[in-house]
Structure 1
Amino acid sequence: MAKTTPTATGVQRCLTEIRQMIISGTLLPGQKVHQGEIAAQLNVSRIPVREALSTLQAEGVLDYKPNTGFTVARFSGEDLAEIYLMRRLLETEVVRTVDLAAVDVDELKRLNDHLKTLSANTDPDEWQSTNFDFHFLIFEPSPLKLVREEIRRLWYMSSFYRSLYIQQADSRLRVHEDHDKIIEAVKARDNEALIKLSDEHRGSTEHLLTQRLGWSRPR
């Protein structure tokens, strides 16, 4: 087994912190990412920051231009529609391969109950993290490891845009209600019902985002 080096640990910490900056809106789509500022903020050298930024570029979370450096990826309505299309296709295949008996229903309930206590306005980071944990708890038992990693990447890519959805009270209520139905499908070990509910849950987010951002949905 390969040893974890201090540099590797530093890169992972930088990845986590920069992702959180994007999710929370500290770094906005199209905004330049200054390596020196992040290194100073995280109290690390520029080396792990640069490696983390390169990883995020490979994931599609950041763009890079030689004379500009790294900027946070900015998506159009068509781009976001493709991301949600890929999510639908990949998440459907993952859910089909999950033995729902292996999913901890009590933990799903705990995460959703905790989500209901959070405000997306005052606790945005924890809200996003808890929502992420809820969904990936279901994906985790799938043997499709590479597909799960790709889904994770797509979630990171669209995290800022998804955060706009939860700022509306009626959207948060819809999330809680959808999660309750998802939990029941997991409890019943009904993969096909879970796929249908997940499609509706995901689709409502995409629909509201296209409306809120003034994008037309691709035909």
Structure 2
Amino acid sequence: IWTTIEECLNPPVIFEKDRGWFTTEPFSEPEVFDFPEGIGPVECVNVEHEEVLLIPRWVDAKRVTFKYGLGNEFIDVLRTLHKLGLDSTTPVMVKGQSVSPRDVVAACLPDPATLGDKMSGKTCAGLWVRGTGKDGQPRSTYYYHVVDNEWSMSEYGDQAVVWQTAINPIIALELLHEGTWTGVGVLGPEAFPAQPFLDKLVEYGSPWGMREQD
């Protein structure tokens, strides 16, 4: 929850080719997106995340954003924490003890990794690409990865969000170890070929999907 507060309340970064990187207000540009595999429509808002900084370095994109489907209730909670200063990491003195307000909030809430048996449903991470296809016609495609909490709990004992987050560096390390991914210096995931990574997802029993958008 500590990092969730951080990335949701930081000014989101947006990239535009003719403008470069710039920031906007938290929770800006709300839009409803219809997610696949029965998840359905969810309102998504801009959130600060590293993909916006990395993708334009290796992909010729006109505009890049990153959005979360947070829900109005959670957004209201985050805004209240911010108004009260409880998102701050600057220590304050409480009865002679120096404590960080955000540390207190995190300590009062359950560890999300322990909530798997109380959760149900699916989580989806995806990339929506809009542009021109190889045939010269407009194309809008959504690449996605869905994890069902029931599956991840039964197969790995981890809730869906934790598992989906953890599998990415695991696969990346395997590809580096095998020599499938190679390079020099500091490189983001976008600098490497995607297909070997996608194939590994299938090997782990959690395949990716692709949907053409209207």
Query: Normalised by the shorter chain, which TM-score bucket?
Result: under 0.3
The TM-score normalised by the length of structure 2 is 0.27
Compare the two structures and name the one with the higher helix fraction: 1
Higher-Rg structure is: 2
